[in-house]
Amino acid sequence: MEIKVSQLAELVNGEIDGNPNLTITNLAGIVEAKNGDLTFLYLPAYEKYFKTTKASAIIIKHDFPKIRKDITAIKAKEPDKALAKIIVTYFTPELKITGIDKTAYVDVNAVIGKKVTLGKNVVISAGCKIGNNSKILHNTVLLDNVEIGSDTLIYQNISIRENTKIGNNVIIHSGTVIGSDGFGFNPDEKGIYHKVPQIGNVIIEDDVELGSNVSIDRAAIGSTIIKRGVKIDNLVQIAHNVAIGEDTVIAAQTGISGSTKIGNHCILAGQVGIIGHLDITDNVIIMAQSGISKSIKKPGKYFGYPAKDLHTALRLEAHIRNLPDYAEKIKSLEKEIKSFKEMLNKKNNQNLE
């Protein structure tokens, strides 16, 4: 593929500094880019690579000082968003899979009986298991009161249990399990745990994307709900009766315990842990490796274990890092105090004499 810089600049409403007729053939990161590549720069940590990148063109912010004449720049308000638009327009790979793979089985009677609804342009890839129907073909069982909306893409080896409702324009990556039993057990008087039947379901609304090896448990009763526009990274656990608000983003290895409610437009960074039955309000950012032990009622950034507002958490972390110095200072002060007391006692004794 060959694309002129002028076309790209027009697409992203950018300003060209350099050769508008320069031809781009590929996209690459600023470190590994080579001649013919377009790269981008928006994080300050990567500015040091601008002097050495071998890219032919680069997307930068309007106020970034361009000190090289041998590279063509596209100046944009938000380089990361500009690059995403270019990827979507010119570089998104065309999917070759269509329809329902031969290794996945559709129970025709179930469809006719309206137990299952499939929208238009649904892709079900090899090795998927959808529903809890006992009929098995090619190691795959399919369809038992499952609704799948239009333009939904289901990659390989995915299990979608009975009564699950999936909206339109949903993408589910390989290895994900939707609708497995919630973790519900009750101990008897002898301390022996007994399973509590999980009779609810999972509802996934439109425009959701689930990464690989995500587990979303069915509700004990009612529904586990993933609302419109949610994006979930790989290896995330969502327990029974959890509700995730619209346009919330959850990064890898996050775990959310049962019946917790996450608001709209939240960001949960990697390895966040949240205990059950909490409420997280809208517009909350939880930094990586934080543990949430109580509800968050105020928008903002939170960090630590247990998590606190970011400003307080960073102050505490700074004090913790300085504990060795504090200990030395305390020892020094104790010596000074002891010396002062000895001197004072000696002076008092002299006065008494």
Convert the pLDDT of each residue in 231-240 to its tens digit.
999 999 999 9
pLDDT band, very low/low/confident/very high, at 105 (cuts 50, 70, 90): very low
The SS3 assignment for 48 reads helix
Burial class (CB in 10 A: 0-12, 13-18, 19+), 192: exposed
- DSSP string computed for 269-325: -TT-EE-SS-EE-SSEEE-TT-EE-S-B-S-EEEEETTEEEHHHHHHHHHHHHTHHH
How many other C-beta atoms are found inside a 10 Å radius of the C-beta of residue 194?
9
pLDDT at 113: 29
pLDDT band, very low/low/confident/very high, at 101 (cuts 50, 70, 90): low
Mean pLDDT (the chain) is: 86
pLDDT at 99: 57
How many other C-beta atoms are found inside a 10 Å radius of the C-beta of residue 241?
25
For 206-249, the pLDDT digits (tens) are 999 999 999 999 998 889 999 999 999 999 999 999 999 999 99
Ramachandran class of 247: left when φ > 0, alpha when ψ lies in -120 to 50, beta otherwise: left
267 versus 154: which is more confidently predicted?
A: 267
98 versus 238: which is more confidently predicted?
A: 238
Distance CA 173, CA 125 (A): 10
pLDDT band, very low/low/confident/very high, at 71 (cuts 50, 70, 90): very high
Look up the pTM and report it. 0.74
pLDDT at 185 over 80: yes
pLDDT at 301: 95
How many other C-beta atoms are found inside a 10 Å radius of the C-beta of residue 316?
13
**Set 138, 240, 277, 311: catalytic member:** 240
Distance CA 282, CA 264 (A): 5
Between vectors from CA 310 to CA 240 and to CA 304, what angle results, nearest 5°? 55
Distance CA 12, CA 56 (A): 18
Q: Give long-range contacts, CB 8 A cutoff, 24+ apart: 103-106.
A: 103/127, 103/138, 103/139, 103/140, 104/128, 104/130, 104/138, 104/140, 104/142, 105/135, 105/136, 105/137, 105/138, 105/140, 105/141, 105/142, 106/142, 106/143
- DSSP string computed for 192-234: -EEEPP---EEEE-TT-EE-TT-EEEPPSSSEEEE-TT-EE-S
Average pLDDT over residues 316-341: 88
For 29-65, the pLDDT digits (tens) are 999 999 999 999 988 888 999 999 999 999 999 999 8
pLDDT at 135 over 70: no
Q: Which two tokens stand for residue 175?
A: 């290895």
How many other C-beta atoms are found inside a 10 Å radius of the C-beta of residue 262?
27
pLDDT band, very low/low/confident/very high, at 114 (cuts 50, 70, 90): very low
pLDDT at 108: 36
Average pLDDT over residues 295-316: 90
**In sequence order, what are the residues at sequence separation of 6 or more whose Cβ sits closer than 8 angstroms to the Cβ of residue 114?**
none
Task: Find out whether 300 and 313 touch, Cβ atoms under 8 Å.
Answer: no
Distance CA 205, CA 169 (A): 9
- Indicate if 311 belongs to the active site: no
Task: Find out whether 86 and 27 touch, Cβ atoms under 8 Å.
Answer: yes
pLDDT at 264 over 90: yes
pLDDT at 66: 87
Task: Find out whether 208 and 167 touch, Cβ atoms under 8 Å.
Answer: yes
- The fraction of the chain above a pLDDT of 90, given in percent, is 56
pLDDT at 316: 83
